[in-house]
Amino acid sequence: MSLLSVRGIVKTFPGVRALDGVDVDVEPGEVHCLLGQNGAGKSTLIKVLSGAHRPDAGEITWAGERVELASPVDALRLGIATMYQELDLVPGLSVADNIFLGHERARFGFTRVSQARAEAARLMARLGHPGIRPSTEVGKLSAAGQQLVSMARALAHDARLLVMDEPTAALAGEEVDNLFRIVGELTAGGVAVVYISHRLEELRRIGHRVTVLKDGRTVGTGLDAASTPTADLVALMAGRKVETVFGPRHDGHARPETALEVEHLSRQGEFEDVSFTVHAGEVVGIAGLVGSGRSELLETIFGARKADRGTVTVQDKPLGPGVRAAVKAGVGLAPEERKSQGLLLDLPVVHNVTLASLGRYAKLGFTERAKELDDAGASLRRLDLRPADPRRIVRTLSGGNQQKAVLARWLVRGCRVLLLDEPTRGVDVGARAELYRLIDELAAAGVAIVLVSSEIPEVLGLSDRVLVLREGRVLADRRSGGLTEAEVLDVILEGSAA
């Protein structure tokens, strides 16, 4: 009998069907690996298993009985514990306090500190790190130490199923070895593990079976982790050849002059020795997993982060430090998190659009409102913002129209180099087509574009050249013509240069 059986799970969010009929069976004492591209539905599935999301359809069976996971408390009571990639620890609390947070060791309304610390010490010793003291503040621990505290918290619930989302992302070699030792001990004791990782070498090393998700569906399950060929796994993840829906141009607009040159750019812990050039009118796409350093690289080029080493040159002139220097040089950034990083949500669209160009509307200490509205309105009409009202509060717009407002800012400014980080995330199909058209128009006008996207077909379809980034290093720099999704995935997953 399976410990966990998932059948036909469906989960829909506004405009997105994240899960569209997922089937998975997990046996006691096995490491069941979950594989899939970014956006395949892995994160949504583990949130369903942890009780954070309630499915719209389908059923979950636990030890032969159908169950409803209405909340994380329900999951924990069954014995399902989840370790998220972004650890949900409280930095200001001690190790012991974090381990027993929500199920404190107490008697007659008073916390039993000595008991909690003693149990925490036993858990840390079991995990091979007795040197981590229960009284230590979690925020002072290394990333690996915090990962161990998260695992100890899961063990404190007597978990029968442990869900681990990219657990080695922040760990070094010896720390990974220790983690795998612990996983082996847990599975030997009958604990099941659902293990999510993009590193195939890890799946081969500790996995028993593999389930592959694509576009919210199960496309392969029960595959042997040790013997299933890499080519078969990649084919399941890719699932199709790249179509021409994005209108690939392949050097259609590139010009001889260099617009952006990045040389040996490095930032400790994020990316290392990155070099590439972008010509006027060229679109360079960056493919890679979340955590590969893609967003950090764009933010460093834009001056929002300080590089440890390396230079950025715009039209043969070295770029000074800071965002102000980048904007002055003609560099624009549409960030991944548009709500928190790109927009002032409670201000009108017009003020968001002209934010990078306020100097041109200032006259004798006053703002020329009419000219500001005219320029913003012209850019919004070009982008087909709906409704095209510059006075409307940005918060009330849809995700696609909010993205258009960010791009309109750089149309008004008149960029030479435009950095786009996940420009179509959360955007519906119609708005995507409009954004693709705009990217092509900007390239035709001579704007150099660097595009980051988690969707490999989008990178291939929009770009003239593709960089593949893995763990902060560029492993491939190829023309997009003839490059397939499977080839890009092979570099991302196997880590071999191409």
* Span 421-444, pLDDT tens digits: 988 876 655 567 778 888 888 899
- Average pLDDT of the residues in 257-283: 94
The answer on 297 and 221 residing in a single domain is no
The answer on 324 and 221 residing in a single domain is no
The answer on 229 and 253 residing in a single domain is no
The answer on 251 and 177 residing in a single domain is no
Question: Is the pLDDT reported for residue 218 higher than 70?
Answer: yes
**What span, in angstroms and rounded, lies between the C-alpha atoms of 203 and 190?**
19
Nearest one of 154, 152, 102 to 125, comparing CA atoms: 152
State the pLDDT at residue 3. 94
**What span, in angstroms and rounded, lies between the C-alpha atoms of 349 and 405?**
7
* Domain end among 194, 222, 238: 238
Band (pLDDT 50/70/90 cuts) for residue 285 is very high
Task: Spell out a b/e string for 442-479, using b for 16 or more CB atoms within 10 Å of the CB, else e.
Answer: bbeebbbbbbbbbbbbbbbbbbbbbbbbbbbbbbbebe
Please tell me the least confidently modeled range out of 250-259, 333-342, 446-455.
Answer: 250-259
CATH label of the domain that carries residue 441 = 3.40.50.300
Q: Which amino acid is at 59?
A: E
Question: Is the pLDDT reported for residue 193 higher than 90?
Answer: yes
* Domain end among 215, 238, 261: 238
**What span, in angstroms and rounded, lies between the C-alpha atoms of 37 and 307?**
29
User: What single string gives the DSSP state of each residue in 207-226?
Assistant: -SEEEEEETTEEEEEEEETT
Q: Which amino acid is at 312?
A: V
Beta carbons of 254 and 464 less than 8 angstroms apart: yes
State the pLDDT at residue 248. 46
The answer on 60 and 44 residing in a single domain is yes
**What span, in angstroms and rounded, lies between the C-alpha atoms of 409 and 421?**
15
Please tell me the least confidently modeled range out of 241-250, 365-374, 410-419.
Answer: 241-250
State the pLDDT at residue 40. 81
Higher per-residue pLDDT: 297 or 108: 297
In this prediction, what percent of the chain has a pLDDT beyond 90?
38
Band (pLDDT 50/70/90 cuts) for residue 278 is very high
The answer on 250 and 229 residing in a single domain is no
State the pLDDT at residue 426. 63
Question: Is the pLDDT reported for residue 450 higher than 90?
Answer: yes
The answer on 393 and 294 residing in a single domain is yes
Question: Is the pLDDT reported for residue 277 higher than 90?
Answer: yes
Burial class of residue 379 in the structure, from the number of CB atoms within 10 Å of its CB (0-12 exposed, 13-18 middle, 19+ buried): buried
Band (pLDDT 50/70/90 cuts) for residue 397 is confident
The answer on 109 and 22 residing in a single domain is yes
Side-chain half-sphere CA neighbours of 15 within 13 A: 12
Nearest one of 496, 455, 473 to 36, comparing CA atoms: 455
Band (pLDDT 50/70/90 cuts) for residue 244 is very low
**What span, in angstroms and rounded, lies between the C-alpha atoms of 56 and 12?**
7
State the pLDDT at residue 497. 53
Question: Is the pLDDT reported for residue 252 higher than 70?
Answer: no
User: Degrees (nearest 5) of the Cα angle 200, 489, 161?
Assistant: 40
Band (pLDDT 50/70/90 cuts) for residue 169 is low
The answer on 115 and 185 residing in a single domain is yes
State the pLDDT at residue 422. 87
Question: Is the pLDDT reported for residue 458 higher than 50?
Answer: yes
Nearest one of 248, 201, 227, 172 to 492, comparing CA atoms: 201
> Would you say the C-alpha torsion 294, 300, 304, 308 has a positive or negative sign?
positive
**What span, in angstroms and rounded, lies between the C-alpha atoms of 447 and 13?**
35
Beta carbons of 377 and 353 less than 8 angstroms apart: no
Question: Is the pLDDT reported for residue 409 higher than 70?
Answer: yes
Higher per-residue pLDDT: 64 or 239: 64
The answer on 361 and 221 residing in a single domain is no
Residue 263: how many other CB atoms lie within 10 Å: 14
Question: Is the pLDDT reported for residue 178 higher than 60?
Answer: yes
* Domain end among 212, 238, 264: 238
The answer on 224 and 253 residing in a single domain is no
The residue whose two tokens read 């519906």 is 428
Question: Is the pLDDT reported for residue 10 higher than 90?
Answer: yes
Question: Is the pLDDT reported for residue 174 higher than 80?
Answer: no
In terms of pTM, does the model score above 0.85? Answer: no
Question: Is the pLDDT reported for residue 227 higher than 50?
Answer: yes
Residue numbers of the domain that contains 414: 244-494
Cis (ω within 30 of 0) for the bond into 387? Answer: yes
Higher per-residue pLDDT: 47 or 365: 47
- Average pLDDT of the residues in 43-63: 93
The answer on 360 and 283 residing in a single domain is yes
Higher per-residue pLDDT: 247 or 350: 350
| DSSP letter assigned to residue 396 | G
Distances (CA, A) of 74 to 11, 24, 80, 186, 241: 19, 20, 9, 22, 42
| DSSP letter assigned to residue 341 | I
Distances (CA, A) of 291 to 238, 296, 423: 20, 9, 17
In this prediction, what percent of the chain has a pLDDT beyond 70?
91
Strand 317-318 and strand 16-26: the pairing is unpaired
**What span, in angstroms and rounded, lies between the C-alpha atoms of 63 and 239?**
33
Number of domains in the chain: 2
Which residues face 195 on adjacent strands? Answer: 33, 164
Q: Where are the alpha helices (DSSP H) in 220-280?
A: 230-238
